[in-house]
Amino acid sequence: MAEGIITTDDAEFRGILEGRSADVAAVALAARRLVFDVLPQSVEVVWPTQRTSGYGTGPRKMSDQFAWILPAARHVAMAFPYGAELDDPSGLLQGTGARIRNVRLATPDDVARPELRRLLEAAIGHRVPPPPAEVTVRS
């Protein structure tokens, strides 16, 4: 593993899903799989206290990460730190903040939308340093 890179294992991610419904857990796991499908060498950082996880090319929340997964009581939000700057012709992004936007995911079908994949692909190349040559992700 590259020095200074933080990755998690499946148990850490599943830990933030404790107490959530099976439906919310399924959506969160599908969103996580999508992130790793789009960028297999993504660095995942789980924040147990916040019950969220971040994905990027390094561990720093605002400068290295392109997406966050936030499991809520009835849905999962996939947030984009610079979402306000992303092209979103299908109108998936919600929010009014200066930078952050999110997409509300209620079902696995929401995660499977090609528009969500395109947002992730755009976010990876926007304001995020290139991924490290090799990162080992434990699963």
Residue 98 in domain:
yes
Instruction: Supply the pLDDT for residue 126.
Output: 84
pLDDT of residue 132: 62
Q: Please, how many CA atoms are within 13 Å of residue 38, restricted to the half-sphere of its CB? A: 25
| Structural domain harbouring 71 | 10-124
Q: Poorest-confidence range of 11-15, 58-62, 95-99?
A: 58-62
Please check whether residue 130 lies inside any domain of the structure.
Answer: no
Domain assignment present for residue 2? The answer is no
Q: In this predicted model, what pLDDT tens digit does every residue of 78-112 receive, in sequence order? A: 999 999 999 999 999 999 989 999 999 999 999 99
Identify how many contiguous H helices and E strands the chain contains and give both numbers. Answer: 4, 5
Examine the pLDDT at 135 and tell me if it is beyond 80. Answer: no
Phi-psi region of 31 (alpha: psi -120 to 50; beta: other; left: phi over 0): alpha
pLDDT band at 134 (very low <50, low <70, confident <90, very high): low
The reply to whether 131 falls in a domain is no
The tokens for 8 are: 């998690």
**Would 62 be classed as within a structural domain?**
yes
d(CA 41, CA 96): 31
Lowest mean pLDDT among 28-37, 52-61, 79-88: 52-61
For the chain, what is the domain count?
1
State pLDDT tens for residues 19-29.
999 999 999 99
| Domain annotation covers residue 72 | yes
d(CA 31, CA 126): 20
User: Which of these, 90, 7, 69, 95, lies nearest to 44 by C-alpha position?
Assistant: 7
CATH number at residue 68: 3.90.1150
Structure pTM? 0.86
Is 139 part of any domain? no
Q: Does residue 132 fall inside a structural domain?
A: no
> What's the rounded mean pLDDT across residues 31-47?
91
In sequence order, which residues have a C-beta less than 8 Å from that of residue 59 and are 6 or more positions away?
Answer: 4, 5, 6, 43, 45
